[in-house]
Structure 1
Amino acid sequence: MKKQRTKNSIQHPFSPIIYPNSKILILGSFPSVISRENDFYYGNSKNRFWKVLGLIFDKDFISLSNEEKVNALKELHIALYDVVYSCTIDNSSDSSIEDVVYADIPSLIENTEINHIYCNGKKAYALLLKAYPMYKDRTVLLPSTSPANAAWNIDRLFEKWKELKLH
């Protein structure tokens, strides 16, 4: 017998990391169960986000505390948030996201220097362009750093994600 899955309606549990001098915005779709439990972005140790960022900017993000990660992002002029403010979701499955309330991205970036938006994975990209098609010209789809994206090893992720350093 197949295990019954339960979808839960959840509001985004933490604030965006953004500053007036932010130049790049990285958007995920919605925090995973483990990230929500750890109360921080990419809190699953199997997600390669912090490792890839560390390779790009020659910084050991893995060993940093959450506060130190926030400070490092500020120094790098990188903002971090998710496209979805609230939704119904089954565990951490992007494909199960429904009943979406979008994050107010225009207000979020209004008083910043953000010119480039990078989406961590196809779901974030599709949702962003559905809600805010006016950002298409300044948005780049990057392969997901999620452990579910096993086809992309750390070297391949680095090759695509290093574009962040150009801005």
Structure 2
Amino acid sequence: MSAPLLTGLAPVIAPDTRILILGSFPGAASLAAQQYYAHPRNQFWKLVGALVGEDLYGLPYAARLPRLLAHRIGLWDVLAACEREGSLDAAIRNPAANDFERLHRLCPELQTVGFNGQASGKFAGQFEEAGYRTVVLPSSSPAHMALSFEQKMAVWRRLVEAEADAV
């Protein structure tokens, strides 16, 4: 018996999005909740909150997305669909990438693409070729706790540092 075919979440983007953070594919908790980074131990909302100077983690999910967009940061995943048991990237089978060709049209101000972890980071070259600045970030996933929050934050800051250099 094969793993179920799973479909990812819709992009959270706006025409003025300047930074896009791409994960690999939502974990089981995120798919069940239909929310990006829904696992309570995932550090994503704390990391991005620290970047923008707001307690995004403390907000209800419905309030997080507009605040993220207000800071011109978008969210999506490199994969639109895949087969997977559980939540680990290593268990992904038959991946289907999202259609990124439309990003130039949907987000004409997009400058920087951050990849949340090594699995999504495999797509960095494709985005560099399309003219975007890229940053491969240490994963915010609870499965990747080798680095402390502070160590992760030091790398995640490159997202906004690259953006500041572009302005």
TM-score by length of 1: 0.88
- Structure 2 residue aligned with 1:118, among 114, 118, 129? 114
1:20 paired with 2:15, answer: yes
Q: Which consecutive segments of 4 or more residues in structure 1 shift more than 4 A?
A: 129-133
SS at match of 2:12: coil
2:84 to 79, 83, 89: 89
Q: Cα deviations across residues 65-111 of structure 1 (Å, max 9, x unaligned)?
A: 22211111111000100000001112101011121111011213423
Instruction: List per-residue Cα deviations over 1:46-75 (Å, max 9, x = no partner).
Output: 000001111222211112122211111111
Change (3 A) 1:36 1:105: same
Give yes or no for contact 2:124–2:136 (8 Å, CA) kept in 1.
Answer: no
Distance 1:98 1:132 in 2: 23
> What secondary structure is seen at the aligned counterpart in 2 of 1:123?
helix
Q: Which moved more, 1:58-67 or 1:103-112?
A: 103-112
What secondary structure is seen at the aligned counterpart in 1 of 2:152?
helix
- TM-score norm. by structure 2 comes to 0.88
1:144 partner SS: coil
Q: Secondary structure at the match of 1:101?
A: strand
Point out where structure 1 has 5 or more consecutive residues left out of the alignment.
none
Q: Is the contact made by 2:115 and 2:124 (CA closer than 8 Å) also made in structure 1?
A: no
C-alpha distance 96-130 of structure 1, shift in aligned 2 (>3 A): farther
Structure 2 Cα separation of the partners of residues 43 and 111 of structure 1: 25
Contact 2:78-2:97 within 8 A present in 1 as well: yes
Asked if the contact 2:117/2:138 (under 8 Å) is kept, the reply is yes
Tell me how far apart the structure 2 counterparts of residues 51 and 67 of structure 1 sit (CA, whole Å): 16
Structure 2: which 5+ residue stretches go unaligned? Answer: none
